[in-house]
Amino acid sequence: MTDKPEVQFLDAQLCFALYSCSKAIVGAYSTQFSKLGITYPQSLVVVSLLEQGEQSVGGLSKTLLLDSGTLTPLLKRMAGQNLIERTRSTKDERVVMVKLTKEGCALSDGIAQAQEDVSCGVAMPPDESEAFRGQIKALNLRLRAM
């Protein structure tokens, strides 16, 4: 007979520690990004487009781990702010392509400053930060393989 597992209380849960940390860091970024008139998820779209250039909505969805029900309204708001352009692909009109506008590209300096401010606020040495990020990425891969 196997012993029944016991509930782990919040302080003992890795999941809760990651969840609360994630909320805290997104909150820190959100404070910075509100000065730019964007949200944290919108900043992820901008950074992805800066990094990879024009992308399909499907590609952005995969990169940012956001489903289309979340991403599509976000992109519509960004288009309304004139931060991105959405156009149909010339190869397949079912595919919507997304690219930054001049105004969207202009956010790069503000986003870089916000990243610097939050990084400095955390005060984690770069090598420690890199090692921690590596551990989180490895954990993410393990969880996605479950």
pLDDT, tens only, 68-116: 899 999 999 999 999 999 999 889 989 999 999 999 999 999 999 999 9
Q: Confidence class of residue 27 from pLDDT cuts 50, 70 and 90?
A: very high
Question: What CA–CA distance (Å, rounded) separates 144 from 146?
Answer: 5
Q: Domain for residue 46, yes or no? A: yes
* 3-state DSSP of 71-130: HHHHHHHHHHCCCEEEEECCCCCCCEEEEECHHHHCCHHHHHHHHHHHHHHHCCCHHHHH
Determine, yes or no, domain membership for 13.
Answer: no
Number of domains in the chain: 1
Q: What is the CATH number of the domain that holds 52?
A: 1.10.10.10
Encoded tokens for 42: 């919108």
Residue 38 lies in a domain: yes
Q: Is residue 79 part of a domain?
A: yes
Residue 47 lies in a domain: yes
